[in-house]
Structure formats: structure tokens, C-alpha cells
Amino acid sequence: MSAQLNNPGFVRLIRLLFGRRFAYLCWASWRRITVGKAERGTGINRYRSRQELILVPRLMALLPEGERVRIIDGGAREMDKDFRWHAFPADRLEFHGFEPDQAEAKRLDGMVTERGSSTRLYPAGLWGYTGSVEFEHNNIGGGSSFLRQNRVVTDRWKFENPSQTTLSRDIFFPKRYESMPVVSLADWAVEAKVRQIDFMKLNVQGGELEILQGAGELLNGTLGVLAEVAFVESYKDRPMFSDIDVFMRSRGFCFFDLLAHHYIGRTESPVAAVHLALVEPKLGQLVSSWGQLIEGHAIYFRDPIGSPQPKHLDGKQMIKLVALAEAFGQIEYAFELMEWMAKQPDIADTDTAERLRVIIDEAAKAYSAYD
């Protein structure tokens, strides 16, 4: 029917049989449905690609002029491709990127400011102390590390995607070593005169716990952390997820989700399980489909509502926490935080509470449009 309503000849026939007004009403109704579907599809795509979010722009308008969300990017390789920050107004973001790979640091320098956000790039690695550490360059750039690759483990792997397989031992191996400068976050913060960081992204192939332990008091004001975590010892003496989780909980953070799951197959297997029609490769199953889970990115946030000893967050921090929650997909937590915030004694009778109520109502309607 939709194709027919778009056909002038068919519309003329309807006009002759039922009259001009009926034909127009049919066409107008079809147009509303078609345009509505197209707009809905565009909105979904823009949301999923983080070109547009629903809460973030409204929340950023609540912050004082000049207030920014300050982000540490440890292991800043390809930070220019991280789409998760695209929905934030550029003038509300402040990045500090650390990348020990000099070639990648040079590539990033000059590119990271294209969106107009405030960005500083440091051609050094983050570590638990300030000094120098030997860096292992890998054949795969993203596999380079301050730790030594554990090939007893990794040579057993087979990398798989829906159409291809590659043996780990053929592409994932160390090539050379180089002494590189490193700095602890605590020392950097003193030198840079930075008193607070809102969010940390750490993807440094095994050094995440070392960096977190070296952050000192700077971690006290941090609202969220995204850290790569491991479930196998792919680098020698690499801390596991359990080690990082214990540390993060001891510092008052709450685990929310595991993102970017990385599964591997086995070199000696003659089949690639992910290619079999017999398996159902999706999360939430009662059996495994993708092989062994070796890594993922754990997302942690402050939880001022449910933590046994909640850290006090001021109004600006709460607004940023809500925005970060939405940016990383924690939609319902973002709404819960706003409802809780609007009821707090120091906010309940203020203009901020009223503006929060408006945002909650508007955002709820905007999200409900995609039910």
C-alpha cells in the first residue's frame, strides 16, 4: 500500500473513486507514518552513535559557565575515534591524554582538538610512580605494554570475527623494547595544578591497577572509571578483574557493567565456533557461544544513594555523574540520580530542583517515544 500511495496514478484513481478530499487524507496519513518512521530511525541511529543524547545537553546547561567535565585518557591510542563523548558540547569537555607510543602520540597531536574541546596530550605513560619503565612494543600497536606478553597463554589463542579467523601467534608478539618516561597521576596532578578529575578511561594492557594505586587523593573526587580488566594472565603478573574490583570498591566505587567483551577461540581447534549455525552468539545465554572471555572494560560509578559510606557530591558533581551515566548507557540510573538529587534538603526548595523536574519530565517523554 505504501508504494501505491507514492504512485501518482494510484492516487488519481483513489481521487476518482472516493473524491479529492479522501485521497488527500490517505496521502497525508501515509506521509505522516512514513516521515515518522524515518525520523524515528534517524533518532535511534544518532543516539546509538552518541551524536545526540537526551539528558546530556539539558544537564550541561545546568552547569555554571566555563565548567567542564574533566577526563583522563590513559592509553590514549585512537582517542580521536572515541564516539562516546560526541554528544557533549565541545566547550564542556577537558581531556588529558597519556600515550607512551611516540608515533601514536604524534599522530594524535593536532587531531584531538578538531571538535573544539580543551585537550592536552602527554607523550608519556601513566604508572604507579614517576620515572622510566621499559616498554614492550608489540606487532599489534594496541598490544604494546609496560608488562611482558605471556606467550605461553596468548599463542594458544585464535582471534575470530563473524567471517575471519587469525592465529594469535602470527600477529600478536613483541618486537622491540624501549625505555619510556612514566608519571603517576598524583605527581602529574601536582605539576599540572589539577585538583579534581571527573572521569578516567584506562586501557593500558595490564597497568590499570598500578595507575589507580598511583592516583592517590586524585581518585577521591573522581565520579567514574572505565578500566580494561583481564580474566587470564595475557601479560606476566597482570592483575585480574578481581584485583581491580577489590581496589575500586575499597575506594567507594560501584561496579555497573562489563563492556567490550573480548572472546578468543583456540589455535588447535579445526573449527571456529562463532561461524557455526549451531551456536547463538549473543549475551544472556545459558551456554557459551564465543569461546573464552579474556578481557573486557569494567565501568564503575559513584553511588551516593546505595553506598554504605557514600561520598558527598556537590551539585555540579551530581549533574556530571548523571550525564556520565547516560553517556555510558546507564539510563535508569541517571533518572534515579536526578529523582534522588531533587529531593535532597539542600536542593529540594531551589531553582535547581525545579529545573531537574522539568528535565526529568521532558527526558522521560523523549525516551518513551522509543518504546
Least confident window among 2-6, 84-88, 205-209: 2-6
Same structural domain for residues 27 and 146?
no
Q: Which CATH number covers residue 202? A: 3.40.50.150
Q: What is the mean pLDDT of the chain?
A: 89
Q: Among 286, 314, 342, identify where a domain stops.
A: 314
Cα separation, 99 vs 204, in Å, equals 9
Task: Write down the pLDDT at residue 27.
Answer: 53
Rg (CA), the chain: 25
Distances (CA, A) of 333 to 256, 291, 324: 10, 31, 10
Cα separation, 149 vs 153, in Å, equals 9
- Whether the CB-CB separation of 53 and 326 falls below 8 Å is answered with yes
For 338-371, the pLDDT digits (tens) are 999 999 988 888 898 999 999 999 999 999 999 8
Cα separation, 158 vs 136, in Å, equals 22
Specify the DSSP class assigned to residue 156. Answer: T
* 364 in a structural domain: no
Same structural domain for residues 199 and 254?
yes
Same structural domain for residues 310 and 207?
yes
Beta strand 174-183 with 131-138 is antiparallel
| For range 142-167, the mean pLDDT | 95
Same structural domain for residues 256 and 191?
yes
Q: Among 282, 314, 346, identify where a domain stops.
A: 314
Residue the block writes with cell 557533549: 88
* 130 in a structural domain: yes
| Among 338, 347, 345, 323, CA closest to 63 | 323
Q: Which three cell numbers stand for residue 328?
A: 555510558
pLDDT score of 10 more than 80: no
Q: Among 268, 287, 314, identify where a domain stops.
A: 314
Same structural domain for residues 147 and 274?
yes
Same structural domain for residues 10 and 123?
no
* More confident: 24 or 209: 209
Q: Give how many domains the chain has, as a whole number.
A: 2
Burial class (CB in 10 A: 0-12, 13-18, 19+), 57: middle
Which amino acid is it at 195? R
Query: Cβ neighbours of residue 276 under 8 Å, at least 6 residues apart?
Result: none
* 31 in a structural domain: yes
How much of the chain, in percent, has pLDDT values that exceed 70? 87
- Whether the CB-CB separation of 203 and 260 falls below 8 Å is answered with no
Cα separation, 292 vs 269, in Å, equals 13
Task: Write down the pLDDT at residue 120.
Answer: 87
Specify the DSSP class assigned to residue 80. Answer: G
| For range 11-38, the mean pLDDT | 58
- Containing domain of residue 264, as a range? 68-314
Task: Write down the pLDDT at residue 356.
Answer: 96
| For range 147-151, the mean pLDDT | 98
Cα separation, 282 vs 110, in Å, equals 39
Q: Which three cell numbers stand for residue 120?
A: 592536552
How much of the chain, in percent, has pLDDT values that exceed 90? 67
Same structural domain for residues 30 and 88?
no
* 56 in a structural domain: no
* 357 in a structural domain: no
For 262-297, the pLDDT digits (tens) are 999 999 999 999 889 888 877 788 888 889 999 999
Task: Write down the pLDDT at residue 79.
Answer: 83
pLDDT score of 141 more than 90: no
Q: Which three cell numbers stand for residue 217?
A: 587523593
Q: Which three cell numbers stand for residue 294?
A: 579474556
For 210-268, the pLDDT digits (tens) are 999 999 999 999 999 999 999 999 999 999 999 999 999 999 999 999 999 999 999 99
pLDDT score of 299 more than 70: yes
Same structural domain for residues 19 and 89?
no
Residue spans of beta strands (DSSP E) within 66-206: 69-74, 93-98, 118-122, 125-126, 131-138, 157-160, 165-167, 174-183, 199-202
The model's confidence at residue 204, banded by pLDDT at 50, 70 and 90, is: very high
